Amino acid sequence: MDKEQPSKRRRGIYLLPNLFTTAALFSGFYSIVAAIHGKFEAAAIAIFIGMILDGLDGRVARMTNTQTDFGTEYDSLSDLICFGLAPALLVYQWSLSSLIDITNFLGKLGWLAAFIYTACTALRLARFNTQVGKVDKAYFQGLASPAAAGVLAGFVWIGTDYQIEGASLVWLTWFITVFSGLLMVSKFRYRSFKDLDFKGKVPFINILLVVMLFVLISINPPQILFLVFFIYAISGPVMTLVQLRNIYRNR
């Protein structure tokens, strides 16, 4: 009898999770284009939309058991554009570029701040990829790039919502940009919330809290979103200081 020929493994990529990743990438690209044309509010909103899509692609991949190395790498490249390059260009176009009107040296400090943020995002993503499966999934080491992008995008959104010129907040913008970038490459621990069980039963009060959160955000999206991500960003250093204080007291 003729031996059966082993079936060849079909090569390809899973469509559904990568569609969400592509949509997140498009949101980042659109944010860059909108920022270049001075549409800062639309650029900030696009980053938040990309954040939602980025959260969905991983969930969809895990729920449908379609996780691949390709998807992981593609997601990281998308994150670099959406949460690294897009927020950096947004804050530069909105505020940091005004430093060149003072002196050429300060103008260089403006684009250097944007570059520091972008470089820290790339380093954060590279470090995260090398630590997959090696660290506690309930915690991030360093601020996650979507959260850092949320701080910058939320800050710009507040400014445009109140019709504040970015030039008047240039030094505050410079500090927030650099500080957010450095937090990404820090060793501060942040809750990742990946240990939450979305399939099992939860208390009714948890559902009520989620509804209240959506209601709160709808009241004033720019302020609430910026406040949420800013509090999350400083939670890492604050919790570290609290832990160090407790260790010092127990000695």
The full set of domain ranges for the chain reads: 15-195+204-250
Q: What's the pLDDT tens digit per position in 182-230? A: 999 999 999 887 666 656 666 778 778 878 888 888 899 999 999 999 9
Q: Report whether CATH 1.10.760.10 matches the domain 15-195+204-250.
A: no
**How far apart are the C-alpha atoms of 185 and 51, rounded to whole Å?**
20
Q: What's the pLDDT tens digit per position in 51-93? A: 999 988 877 777 777 777 888 889 999 999 999 999 999 999 9
- pTM over 0.95? The answer is no
pLDDT above 90 covers a percentage of the chain that reads 63
pLDDT confidence tier of residue 131, bands split at 50, 70 and 90? confident
Note whether 177 and 117 are within 8 A (CB).
yes
Strands (E), the chain: 139-141, 189-191
* Residue of 125 and 14 predicted with greater confidence: 125
CA dihedral 78→220→120→101, nearest 10 degrees, is 110
- Provide the token pair at 79: 């994150």
pLDDT confidence tier of residue 46, bands split at 50, 70 and 90? very high
pLDDT of residue 191: 87
| Whether pLDDT at 5 is above 60 | no
- What size, in residues, is the chain? 251
Q: Under DSSP, is residue 187 helix (H, G, I), strand (E, B) or coil?
A: coil
| Whether pLDDT at 127 is above 70 | yes
